[in-house]
Structure 1
Amino acid sequence: MDCASLVLAPLLSSFQNAAQAGLSFLWDLVAQGAGNHFHLGTNADALALEAMELLEERDDLLAQLAAQEGRCRARTHQVKGWLERLDALRAEVAAFESAFERRATCLEGCSLSALPTNYRLGRSAADLLRRVRELRAQRQGMAEVVGPAPPEPVEAVPCSAAPIVGGEGTLAEIRRLLWDAAAGIIGLYGMGGVGKTTLLTEINNELLAGADHGFDMVIWVTISRDLSVPRIQKQIGDRLGLSLSVEGSMSERVRENAKKLFDRMSERRKFLLLLDDVWEKLDLEEIGIPYPSSRNQCRIVLTTRSRDVCARMDAKVEVKVSCLDPEDSWRLFSEKIGAEVDVRGPYLRPLVEAVVAKCGGLPLALITVARAMAHAASAGEWEEAVEVLKDSPEKLSGMEEEVLSLLKFSFDRLRDETLRQCLLFCSLFPEDNNIDAEKLVEYWIGEGFLDARFHVSIDRAHNRGLVIIRELKAACLLENGSLAGFGRNVVSLDEDEYVRMHDTVREMCIWLTAGECDGSNTFLVHSGKGLTGAPSAQHWEDAKRISLMQNDLVALPNQIPCCPALLTLLINLNSHLRSVPCTIFSLMPALCILDLSFTSLEEIPIEIGLLLQLRYLNLSATKIRSLPKQIGKLVKLRQLILRGTTKLGRIPQGAILKLSNLQTLNLFGSTYEWTWWSEQSEGGGQHGDGVGDSDGEPQLSLKDVQTLEQLSDLGIHITTSSCLEGFLSSRKLLECTRFLRVMVPDFAAANDLSEAFPSMGRLKRLEFFDCLELKGDLIICSGGRLPNLEVLYLCDIPRATQVVVGMASSLLPRLRILTLQQCHSVRDLTWVACQLPCLEKFYFLQNDPIEELVGEIGDEIDCKACFFPKLKLLSLESLPRLRSISKCPLLFPALEQLEVSRCPELRRLPLGPCSAKKIKVIRGEQEWWIALEWHSPEDTVRSTFLPRFRPWGV
């Protein structure tokens, strides 16, 4: 074999094999095409039949899904894919059937020219038939058509269809905070029934309606009063579609489920957790909730009745949900009462307004009362409703079950019985009354709420009282005082000085103490009702506490039954009451508190000595001329308050010195003339510096007072040099004095005063009046601090050239109120601006020479930053030469009220575009205001403050 044969032989063999394979493939293709062509009609009929059967199977499947799908069950991914493929195949089958019908009607359907069409249709019919059979086989192979449903991003929470009334501003604030990366945990707090849950529900359902809310999952959890971690975990697990462990011990299940929840919630990169009705701190880690952070962008919004819960939950933002104002209260009430009652009619409207006012803006009370009155069309029915709400609100339909009982849950959840009793005591004050916090704590001490278990000092008991006030405020059962009770000229109020009780909370307390809930804790409350006669004596017998304060009583019953349980009797603020029956005190053996202050009593019956359990006696602002010596029998008396007794001239030595437990003796503002020492003269009367009375009974002296071992709280008014000198020499008196008024015209030893101040660490209020001989520098505290001084009043000290408080701002760290009047030699008050960090009110009156309030300011002082940081009220009066408060504008970051009267030369205020952002009122003469010049830019500054100006008398 030659070389060509050796090369070509393999090539020819390979070519032959390839040709045979190609011919075989072409033959199979032709055979298959021919088969499809020849079986086209058969396949088309089979396709039509099986496609119809497939659709029937689809309909059966859809019916099965409709029956089995629900809140927690959804069609499987297999079913979803099968239905999607079926829909696509239906479209192809429909296209084939259309083409096949056109072929059947064509005359050339069997001609040679139709062979390509038949070939395509035959191939399509065979392919579609195969795919239909595959889908039917897949349907037969489906074991489960539904499975656990993946959770929806937001689920609806049932709510009223009516729009929110009055909470729009709070709702907008919550919406804004949801987008604030730094918010983290947001706490909504407020009293029961104020609408916290309604706001949270609105937020949830708004997110449901809006697609672009930014959260992967919104989870609603109702916490309820009895905290249960497993129950909380179950609510969250159900919402996430997560099966939680039910095996093992409780602690093991909690730990295991916490890990599952944490892992699942971490997968949901950005969640919003809505926690409703939180009563105590939740341990997020124990439950399994990832802590919100700027990294994971998660949020928690909680509602609670206690602000303390917000703090313990580490809420970055606390939003108080307040009661409605009168306008929104009327709007809500009108919406809820329906169209059957014409609340706007001239006859009904005043009565309806009275009913609405009694609800105090509490939405739940408004809604409940509106439902109860929905069919009350007559004036008589509304008049009766007003009276019922005044005297027995629980008798109005729905009030006890829906409102008072709801608030009682907050009452029951208070920390201990002491807090509950302290709250109930507040109901003794008149409705809508500002309650002096200091006096309230004094009462609590008198009752023994704060020191019954331990014989603690007045100071410690007082501090406990302030803590309780804070806790009751945090629980939204007490509120800050209201400006409404102080007249239109008051625009700011120290939130720690007064508290008040919401009307509905007070009604709840009166309901609890009416005798039906607890017969052993019955109150008789008739305060602030304008009574001219005392209530029937028969109601006194079972009462534990009686309040007749703030009425127009002219007399008390001459005969009352024995009151063995009576602990507190408040008859103060009855200006027409001139006497007390002498027999009354023999019938109250357990009495602890007796307040007769601000009455016109001229004499105290000697039978007061029978009140052997008395711990608190207040005779302030009465017209008594002497104290009966029988007061000395009140061996348990701890607080004796005689403030403002302007006619008091005699205090027998024996009336006070026998009071071995006396801790508070307050005669601040009394005209009792103190001497340093007293002794009994041979024939009575005076002997040397001592004082006796006509019966030979020595009168109380300051030297006597310092022998009271338990005394820690003293208020006095000194009017003689000898008495002042003795006072300044007594370390005991200096250390326990809280209220001091010095009114000694001939006293000139300013240095002696300055040296005494470091020992007066308890001093709260200091006043100098008519100290005409005091001259030079009046040094208040340069050698030591007055850490508790809150009020300083300097009046008619014409020769004192300067008031010096030292260089450090910490020397008077609590001074809130400063008054300088007729201090004509004082020329520079820069120290007021920069050395009193807590000054809130500054009154400067009747100083003829001063031309500038704040002197030249060195470069080292940033006048805009450090001057008057907390000043709320600045009052300038009768300063004829005053030209300037400050040469540069001041920030006045807290200023709310500025008063200027009779300052004709003051042409410019230290206010710029960035000054006094909180200002509410500027008062002055109209002519003065028009003549004012302003810092540049003048028009901007004037227009900023013009709406705040009020002429005097307007």
Structure 2
Amino acid sequence: MDLGPILEIFTRLRDCSANRIGYIRNLQNNLNSLQNARDELISVYQDVSMEIELVEEQQLKPTNEVSNWLVNVEAKVKEVGLILHKGEQVTQSKCIWSCSPKNCWSSYKLGKVVPDMIDELKALVEKRHTFHIVGQRMPHAPVEELPMETITVGLESSFDKVCKCFEDTSVGIIGLYGMGGVGKTTLLKKFNNDFLTTRRSHDKIDVVIWVVVSQELDIGKIQQVIRNKIHLPDEVWLDKNMEERAIAIFNVMKRKKFVLLLDDVWRRFDLLKLGIPNPRGQNGSRVLFTTRSEEVCGNMGAHRSIRVEFLAPERALELFQDKVGEETLNSHASIPYLAKEVVAECQGLPLALITVGRAMANKKDPNQWKRAIQTLKNYPSKVSGMVNEVFLLLEFSYNSLPSPTHKTCFLYCSLFPEDYNIKKDQLIELWIGEGFLDESGDVYGARIEGEDIIDYLKQACLLEKGEANEDSVKMHDVIRDMALWVACEHSSKPKFGVFDNTALSSIYASDLLAKWREAERLSLWRSTLPISLEEPFSLKLLTMIVQKTKLDKFPNGYFKSGQAIKVLDLSHNDTLKEIPAEIGELANLRYLNLSYTRVKELPIELNKLKSLRCLLINFTDRRLIIPRTLISSLSVLQVFSKLMPRPIFLLPASHCYEESVLLQELECLEHLKDISIALSSFSSLEMLLNSTKLQKCIKYLRLHPFSPDSHSSLNILNFTGHQYICNLHTLQVNGYAIRNLTWLTSAPNLRSLKIDSCYLMETIISEDFGAAGFEVSLQVFGSLETLKLKNLPRLRSIYPEALRFPSLKTLNVDNCGDLVKLPFDSDSAKSLEQIVGEPGWWDRLQWEDQSTMDIFSSKFQFQIQKNLSVSAHSSRP
């Protein structure tokens, strides 16, 4: 009998039993090894997580490989936890005297799984060492960081409520409401920026869009902001009406998971009219908005409304102390206790705490604090609502301004519409015209005084930096409301009458007429005039600002009763074509602005305006007629401005002659200090540069040579030594046949330089200037903030050596192919914010060393098309 098969079966059974016994016998050791492998994997997982946090701070995202690995690790660690728990139960149920079949089978099954799991954990640890990179740059940032206060005291509770609502899939529209100045905008900005640092940034949010709505609802403007964010091409946007643009937005947004943040909503509007799909449902999109009214939350269809509350006393004190500063708080033992009394009077309103806190900064005398407390307590309490809770407190900041001039200039800013970006030059010229500033006749001193007042008002939180650029400011709407309350409702008679198309519907006609007849200053903006021009204005009227209306002319005799008027601003009325002759009867008129109108001729009767100090006629009819001797008759004129766009046709010889005559008349004016002008002929330019008087006065110069003698300017513009142009602020040169502008070395106050289509230009400042022994880097372009170079095919250099450029903020280069080196080294242009140019040009640039290139690479932005650029480090490897 052959026993071989029987023995083979026996051997296999014996081996199988031995393996099973081994799984059972080694179970505890294997469980210990599994736990060690799990702990090692968790440690590696934590290391990778820390690396991910670092790359996320650099606005990178984890690679797909790393993300998948993290998910697998989390799943395996959870699975191992269950195995270890089961192992603990099995091992504890066994004893040395009892090994029931049930326990043996459980131990065997568990023991067989554990070694395989150990191998899988080790494989995950090994997989981590194969990662070449952890993070990668995102193709388009779904959210842009918004500038805001680093300290957001007291907003934690409201912020947590917003976050919880955001996570609720049944909530698509969230409304944040509360009093003006309570922190709604700050809260919304914090929520926007939180996408950059939290796990929400990985929840497949495609785009986060921030829009300021404001009281003057402009659907087209909001659509444009959305269009810019989602990069809609020109072919679906240009020449389309509002409904067609809404469709284009809708067809993109319906495929995205979006978050739309709307700040400062005043009344209901239909999101579908913007092109925004209904955010409710499973798409995960959200709309969040801020408003001052709970009613608006309901009207906008908010699924959840959240009130932004006042600060608790301890948090209010913390915010107030931050604004006052430790130095002041520690200057006297009693001031911290007095500070608590001031905080109690502010009733937890962040805007009031910030404003009053900054007003009390550097007040180190306890008596000043006691007087401030008494001032706050003694205000009347009969006014309710916003006046009682906000305006009286903000008026305290107004009353704390250091001089009557500061107060008057501050109130004056409320004559501009809500959310209006006020140009600093425009504002200061109005103040000069009103007589608020230096009355000695020194325009430059007045401008410096005006700049100082603007800076003070910004530091006191009564003005803010404008959105347009550094040269503009704006008023927060709550601050503006307070200023108008001070100027109008808080006085026995209304001093200001401010009307725009957003306010007319809420003002009764009788009230409007009363203000029209009694106000000292009238400001009318947009739409049609609210009152018939047949109605007489106040005999005490000092200021009349009428902009962006449908005004075409004034009726005869309208200005005969306006003897008190000092400022008349009719700019931006593109239907206004004529000025009545009786404007010459305004004997006290100091400021006249006819810019951006279609006035064809200045009436000769203007020569009667013997008090006129500022005359602005920018961008009027190209063939504006100025009667001979008119300008020279304005004996006290200090500021004259006549700028024009680049002509699209050759000007007649007579026009060139009129330019020369105009300059001759300007030269005769004894008190003239400030000229802004556009010239189009060589003879005019030659006259300006040969006149010490005109050189000293020139502030803003535009050169557009479109007369037959334009190419003769080659020599005059290549002479150096124009030492009297020290007050030149802005220069624009278009189309001149020049090789350099070395004469600008005599313009230390030049802030803006724009050169376009000068096809012979080879360098801006010639190297001969440096050879003359001057300290070039200290004085050339020391004040320059903006430099724009366009269509200069022969331009090889701005200057052969490195310059300091201590004030430069923007450099824009377009179609200057031979410019392959910038005058920068590692010590240049410390304040530079951006360089805009073509990608090909940037790649050809030569640098002094690698460190210099690295410094300026982060500031470069590709110029893709007009008014559109992208950051270089977001697109280049």
TM-score, structure 2 normalization? 0.51
Unmatched 5+ stretches in structure 1? 1-321, 387-393, 487-492, 673-685, 693-698, 749-770, 858-862, 930-943
Deviation at residue 377 of structure 1 after TM alignment: 7.7
User: Residue 772 of structure 1: SS of its match in structure 2?
Assistant: helix
Residues in 1 aligned to 2:481 and 2:451: alpha-carbon distance in whole angstroms: 24
Specify the alignment match of 1:818 in structure 2.
Answer: 753
Deviation at residue 442 of structure 1 after TM alignment: 1.2
Deviation at residue 456 of structure 1 after TM alignment: 3.5
Q: Which has the higher contact order (CA 8 A, sep 6+)?
A: 2
User: Residue 611 of structure 2: SS of its match in structure 1?
Assistant: coil
- Whether the 8 Å CA contact 1:593–1:615 is kept in 2: the answer is yes
Specify the alignment match of 1:399 in structure 2.
Answer: 386
- Whether the 8 Å CA contact 1:852–1:885 is kept in 2: the answer is yes
Residues in 2 aligned to 1:688 and 1:898: alpha-carbon distance in whole angstroms: 38
The verdict on how the C-alpha distance between 1:782 and 1:827 changes in structure 2, with shifts beyond 3 A counting, is same
Specify the alignment match of 2:522 in structure 1.
Answer: 546
The verdict on how the C-alpha distance between 1:716 and 1:844 changes in structure 2, with shifts beyond 3 A counting, is closer
Q: Does 1:797 align with 2:772?
A: no
1:39-438 alignment runs, 5 A limit = 349=174, 352=177, 361=186, 378-379=298-299, 398-438=385-425
The verdict on how the C-alpha distance between 1:377 and 1:638 changes in structure 2, with shifts beyond 3 A counting, is closer
1:678-697 alignment runs, 5 A limit = none
The verdict on how the C-alpha distance between 1:658 and 1:923 changes in structure 2, with shifts beyond 3 A counting, is same
The verdict on how the C-alpha distance between 1:883 and 1:890 changes in structure 2, with shifts beyond 3 A counting, is farther
Counterpart selection for 1:716 from 677, 693, 715: 677
Write out per-residue CA displacement over residues 526-545 of structure 1, whole angstroms, 9 at most, x where no aligned residue: 34749799975443112121
Residues in 2 aligned to 1:424 and 1:545: alpha-carbon distance in whole angstroms: 11
- Whether the 8 Å CA contact 1:326–1:361 is kept in 2: the answer is no
Specify the alignment match of 1:932 in structure 2.
Answer: none
- Whether the 8 Å CA contact 1:822–1:847 is kept in 2: the answer is yes
Deviation at residue 658 of structure 1 after TM alignment: 3.9
Counterpart selection for 1:579 from 550, 553, 566: 553
The verdict on how the C-alpha distance between 1:920 and 1:327 changes in structure 2, with shifts beyond 3 A counting, is farther
Residues in 2 aligned to 1:357 and 1:773: alpha-carbon distance in whole angstroms: 63
Deviation at residue 347 of structure 1 after TM alignment: 9.3
Structure having the higher helix fraction is: 2
Residues in 2 aligned to 1:887 and 1:737: alpha-carbon distance in whole angstroms: 29
Residues in 2 aligned to 1:408 and 1:950: alpha-carbon distance in whole angstroms: 52
Write out per-residue CA displacement over residues 907-927 of structure 1, whole angstroms, 9 at most, x where no aligned residue: 34748456447956612459x
- Whether the 8 Å CA contact 2:682–2:713 is kept in 1: the answer is no
Residues in 1 aligned to 2:822 and 2:393: alpha-carbon distance in whole angstroms: 54
Unmatched 5+ stretches in structure 2? 1-146, 189-262, 265-288, 309-380, 648-652, 768-775
Amino acid in the other structure paired with 2:836: E
Residues in 2 aligned to 1:851 and 1:610: alpha-carbon distance in whole angstroms: 57
- Whether the 8 Å CA contact 1:830–1:853 is kept in 2: the answer is yes
Specify the alignment match of 2:436 in structure 1.
Answer: 449
Write out per-residue CA displacement over residues 809-844 of structure 1, whole angstroms, 9 at most, x where no aligned residue: 7x4322222223223333345769953233322222
Residues in 2 aligned to 1:373 and 1:689: alpha-carbon distance in whole angstroms: 59
Specify the alignment match of 2:668 in structure 1.
Answer: 707
Specify the alignment match of 1:111 in structure 2.
Answer: none
Q: Does 1:460 align with 2:445?
A: yes
Residues in 1 aligned to 2:720 and 2:157: alpha-carbon distance in whole angstroms: 56
Specify the alignment match of 1:683 in structure 2.
Answer: none
Residues in 1 aligned to 2:387 and 2:291: alpha-carbon distance in whole angstroms: 14
Specify the alignment match of 2:474 in structure 1.
Answer: 500
User: Residue 508 of structure 1: SS of its match in structure 2?
Assistant: helix
Q: Does 1:662 align with 2:607?
A: no
Deviation at residue 518 of structure 1 after TM alignment: 1.0
Q: Identity of paired residues, percent?
A: 28
- Whether the 8 Å CA contact 1:884–1:906 is kept in 2: the answer is no
Deviation at residue 573 of structure 1 after TM alignment: 3.5
- Whether the 8 Å CA contact 2:701–2:731 is kept in 1: the answer is no
Residues in 2 aligned to 1:583 and 1:788: alpha-carbon distance in whole angstroms: 41
Calculate the aligned-residue CA RMSD, in Å.
Answer: 5.2
Counterpart selection for 2:596 from 592, 606, 621: 621
- Whether the 8 Å CA contact 2:718–2:739 is kept in 1: the answer is no
User: Residue 794 of structure 1: SS of its match in structure 2?
Assistant: strand
Highest Rg: 1 or 2? 1
TM-score, structure 1 normalization? 0.48
Residues in 2 aligned to 1:946 and 1:539: alpha-carbon distance in whole angstroms: 54
Residues in 2 aligned to 1:331 and 1:781: alpha-carbon distance in whole angstroms: 62
Deviation at residue 426 of structure 1 after TM alignment: 0.6
The verdict on how the C-alpha distance between 1:513 and 1:880 changes in structure 2, with shifts beyond 3 A counting, is same
- Whether the 8 Å CA contact 2:699–2:730 is kept in 1: the answer is no
Residues in 2 aligned to 1:358 and 1:923: alpha-carbon distance in whole angstroms: 36
Residues in 1 aligned to 2:412 and 2:813: alpha-carbon distance in whole angstroms: 40
The verdict on how the C-alpha distance between 1:731 and 1:828 changes in structure 2, with shifts beyond 3 A counting, is closer
Residues in 2 aligned to 1:542 and 1:342: alpha-carbon distance in whole angstroms: 55
The verdict on how the C-alpha distance between 1:524 and 1:781 changes in structure 2, with shifts beyond 3 A counting, is farther
Residues in 2 aligned to 1:375 and 1:530: alpha-carbon distance in whole angstroms: 19
The verdict on how the C-alpha distance between 1:584 and 1:381 changes in structure 2, with shifts beyond 3 A counting, is farther
User: Residue 547 of structure 1: SS of its match in structure 2?
Assistant: strand
Deviation at residue 512 of structure 1 after TM alignment: 0.9
Amino acid in the other structure paired with 1:877: D
Specify the alignment match of 1:640 in structure 2.
Answer: 615
Amino acid in the other structure paired with 2:832: L
Residues in 1 aligned to 2:829 and 2:447: alpha-carbon distance in whole angstroms: 33
User: Residue 547 of structure 2: SS of its match in structure 1?
Assistant: coil
Deviation at residue 618 of structure 1 after TM alignment: 0.3
Deviation at residue 557 of structure 1 after TM alignment: 1.7
The verdict on how the C-alpha distance between 1:885 and 1:357 changes in structure 2, with shifts beyond 3 A counting, is farther
- Whether the 8 Å CA contact 1:594–1:618 is kept in 2: the answer is yes
The verdict on how the C-alpha distance between 1:813 and 1:477 changes in structure 2, with shifts beyond 3 A counting, is same
Residues in 1 aligned to 2:603 and 2:627: alpha-carbon distance in whole angstroms: 7
Residues in 2 aligned to 1:507 and 1:552: alpha-carbon distance in whole angstroms: 21
Deviation at residue 639 of structure 1 after TM alignment: 1.3
Specify the alignment match of 1:844 in structure 2.
Answer: 789
The verdict on how the C-alpha distance between 1:893 and 1:720 changes in structure 2, with shifts beyond 3 A counting, is closer
Residues in 2 aligned to 1:582 and 1:824: alpha-carbon distance in whole angstroms: 51
User: Residue 461 of structure 2: SS of its match in structure 1?
Assistant: coil
User: Residue 439 of structure 1: SS of its match in structure 2?
Assistant: helix
Write out per-residue CA displacement over residues 824-867 of structure 1, whole angstroms, 9 at most, x where no aligned residue: 33334576995323332222221223456664x5xxxxx5xx54
Residues in 1 aligned to 2:695 and 2:152: alpha-carbon distance in whole angstroms: 53
Counterpart selection for 1:787 from 701, 726, 734: 726
Specify the alignment match of 1:877 in structure 2.
Answer: 814
